[in-house]
Amino acid sequence: MTAKTLSEGILRALGIIAGIVILLLFLYKISAVLIYIAIAAVASLIGRPIVMFFRQRLKFNNTVAVIITMVFLIGIIAGIIALFVPLLIQQGHNLSLLNIDALQNNIEELYGQLLEYFGVRSEDLERGLKDSQLLSNINFGLIPEFLNSLIGILGTFSVGLFSIIFIVFFFLKDSKLFEQSLLTLIPNNKENRVQNSIEKIKNLLSRYFVGLVFQILILFIIYSIVLFVFGIENAIVIAFLCALLNLIPYVGPIIGGLLMAILTMTSNVGADFSSVILPKTGYVMIGFTLGQLVDNFFSQPFIFSSSVKSHPLEIFLIIIIGGILLGVTGMIIAVPGYTAIKVILKEFFAENKIVKSITKNL
């Protein structure tokens, strides 16, 4: 190897590294746009069956079908915003006028009742708790500040929402747009395989995301009924948040359960702990558990078996690996990402023994 060849190889390697660094920096700078595109892609996959229904069953024009679907999706988004924004504004206004000392006293009273119920009634412990001023050191004034800043974020969020809606429209209207752009980079002899892979991935992921919507809807209905029966304030909002948290595999239900328990207890601050707060919270958590049983033994198996065609053990391991690599984000994208990889492997490496075993249901 000559010195010239070696130097050219080094320069080529440095050029490749520099190109990768520039590309990563560019992607980082436009990360917000990439997030918009990813969300729009998911929304378009959810809306795809609706568009296909209008086009194939009702024989609507493609543009008309897309417009009706967009109106339906925007209506859902508007409903969610109409549900949460007035509540946040009202709570932010109420908390800005709130007597912080009264709130602190109520929480201290609830904590005292909790200790008393479990038999922790020694004078030394009560004196120690009072002397430590543990709760007195908490700045409860941060609560209204946090909610007011959250309301400010909603204004910025509206720009992103408009961008996502705009992208979704064209993803639905020109469904082949992304596919055609990708095919320009693919050799001619592999175009058919790539097209088959893309079409199969779209079908599987579309069914998967629609299944997730129904999963959230079922949990939302169960949680709402439970919270309404026991007279919990803001039952609809609490039910929706807890159902939405279920999208985070394994961790989400735990967070949702804790959130429901805390909000149930704090909605009855001032009532007797042993006769009111604890029984009501217990009944609500029983309802939450029933909802989780329905989800674990009906909703999730149905979604995974009929959409992504994967064994529950596969799903479990992939979600854990995704969580280790990318945290909560990895857990959420693990199943759709794994499904796409399986489709590509089957299309291009169908004769491989390992690929055959993991893609036999596709």
Q: Mean pLDDT throughout 329-336?
A: 81
Q: What is the pLDDT of residue 222?
A: 92
Q: What gap in Å lies between CA 239 and CA 168, rounded to an integer?
A: 27
Q: What is the pLDDT of residues 146-161, one digit of tens each?
A: 445 555 555 566 777 7
Q: Which two tokens stand for residue 53?
A: 């229904």
Domain boundaries, the chain: 1-101+154-174
* Contact present, 315 and 250 (Cβ < 8 Å): no
> Which DSSP category does 349 fall into?
-
CA 60 to chain centre: 32
State the chain's mean pLDDT as an integer. Answer: 76
Identify the residue whose tokens are 């893609």. 359
Q: Mean pLDDT throughout 181-206?
A: 78
* Contact present, 312 and 151 (Cβ < 8 Å): no
Confidence of residue 122 (pLDDT cuts 50, 70, 90): very low
Mean pLDDT is highest, among 87-96, 131-140, 187-196, for 187-196
Cut 0.85: pTM above it: no
SS3 content of the chain, % helix, strand, coil (to 5): 85, 0, 15
Q: What is the pLDDT of residues 242-259, one digit of tens each?
A: 888 888 777 888 888 888
What percent of the chain is predicted at pLDDT more than 90?
Answer: 2
Phi, psi of 21 (to 5 degrees): -60, -45
Mean pLDDT is highest, among 10-14, 129-133, 148-152, 266-270, for 10-14
Q: Which two tokens stand for residue 246?
A: 């279920």
Residues 6+ apart with CB under 8 A from 33: 163
Q: What gap in Å lies between CA 322 and CA 334, rounded to an integer?
A: 5
Q: What gap in Å lies between CA 212 and CA 302, rounded to an integer?
A: 10
Q: Which two tokens stand for residue 124?
A: 């030394």
Strand spans (E) along the chain: none
Q: What gap in Å lies between CA 153 and CA 148, rounded to an integer?
A: 9
Q: Mean pLDDT throughout 315-336?
A: 82
Q: Which two tokens stand for residue 226?
A: 């439970």
Residues 6+ apart with CB under 8 A from 168: 40, 43, 44, 47, 70, 73
Say whether 198 sits in a helix, a strand or coil.
helix
Q: What gap in Å lies between CA 275 and CA 282, rounded to an integer?
A: 11
Give the torsion sign (CA, 96, 100, 106, 108).
positive
